[in-house]
Structure 1
């Protein structure tokens, strides 16, 4: 049969093809794939933040405005508590009930930021994080990036070493969509459920920076593609009582550490608010 006269047309439309590809794409982590199939870079140009509601404070809005100037062309996504619950129900229904029973909003936010990387990828940044500069192609080509907040972490050849007091920050990190570290950590957190009457320290060691650090160090051999940047890059030391930071040529931003989630006396809260306003303006 001569098929040369036939006019070939795709059986499926673009939308159907995309749905089919999404449904059949492998869930296992392929280290040789340098993009997720939908964009030109591994880390998509999406900046995620989360807050109890869409009503950010004045100083938080100032920092968002600054980030938008630094990152033209990026998508900015502010997730509130209700949207975080919806994401959890969609992506981790097995943990949804335990998630909804968590009484501390900051713990839900700790988990939600991991979920953004699992579901979408991009950059996560706390609402009290000040961005100084944008991201180069090398940054966007990485699979996953965390920064040291305290201590030392070095990679010598193939053997990474960490100081006893090393702590990774969870106020800023970035990853490609679906990096397996994030689903693994979410599942690891919920192995400790239920979460009842957690102190600030228990919270931090479960889902916060200390919890993140413990999980990463316990799984160094599994996620060797994760890049760890030195403290000066994402979490430079503060100065002038937290009003500014020690910045050098490789500094991308600084966590202002407003600590609005902590349990504090009213007078301390008032002092912190004044410091927040000044640090947002500097």
Structure 2
């Protein structure tokens, strides 16, 4: 496997300890990838990493208006420098996906289509990369450009999505050549994001039916779209 066998997860600790439900989901990755190193990044480790490894980006990192922008941005730095798999705490592993990652160098999770998507929709909740991958370098260069600090959007959500989040990633992906896109694997949603956001909410509320069960037939992992950051002001 080309991608380093390291799993990265982030919980800053600024807003409180890691909730038990997330701790339990985190354990599923340790269970299914026993031969992979597991690294949990708290705020102290993240700050030290940026200052030591990317001092040129410290100004932008600490100037982002929202903490979630820092948590977005740091995951790109980690993958660009160290490589491995980054996964959010609202993701559950169902079975190891090593077979679909074989010979891949950079991966993102496609989201399940809702209606007719005009372009490929993926996010930064689960990503894999080799160190120094060109697309990850392209992402880092953009999210740490000072243009991301210029107020351009009407609310917090749009600011985050367009500066450090999924909208920024999708725009950058669309600038790649056909050849460059072939080096970025967009993992089919049925494997890693079998639910839409609304279906995931039903599951979290305890809804049980055959339709939801069928979504898991080919799944290696499940994204529950908890999005705690939406509820905070920082």
TM over 0.5: yes
Q: Which has the higher helix share?
A: 2
* Contact map agreement 1:131 1:252 (CA 8 A) in 2: yes
User: Residue 98 and residue 240 in structure 1: after superposition, are their counterparts in 2 closer, same or farther (change >3 A)?
Assistant: closer
Task: Write the deviation string for residues 80-132 of structure 1: whole angstroms up to 9, x where unpaired.
Answer: 12222222223332221111112311111111111111111111100111111
The normalised TM-score by structure 1 is: 0.69
Match of 1:230 among 160, 169, 188: 188
Q: Structure 2 unaligned runs (5+)?
A: 207-211
Greater RCO structure (CA 8 Å; 6+ sep): 2
Matches within 5 A, 1:149-168: 149-151=111-113, 163-168=117-122
Match of 1:185 among 139, 143, 146: 139
CA distance in 1, matches of 2:170, 2:129: 16
* Contact map agreement 2:148 2:163 (CA 8 A) in 1: no
1:213 aligned onto 2:170: yes
CA distance in 1, matches of 2:87, 2:45: 17
Equivalent position of 1:12 in the other structure: none
CA positional deviation for 1:150: 4.5
User: Residue 195 and residue 95 in structure 1: after superposition, are their counterparts in 2 closer, same or farther (change >3 A)?
Assistant: farther
Aligned pairs, how many? 216
Matches within 5 A, 1:65-144: 65-144=27-106
Q: Structure 1 unaligned runs (5+)?
A: 1-40, 153-161, 266-282
Equivalent position of 1:174 in the other structure: 128
Task: Write the deviation string for residues 138-183 of structure 1: whole angstroms up to 9, x where unpaired.
Answer: 414211111211549xxxxxxxxx9524311211111112212112
* Contact map agreement 1:150 1:165 (CA 8 A) in 2: no
CA distance in 2, matches of 1:239, 1:147: 15
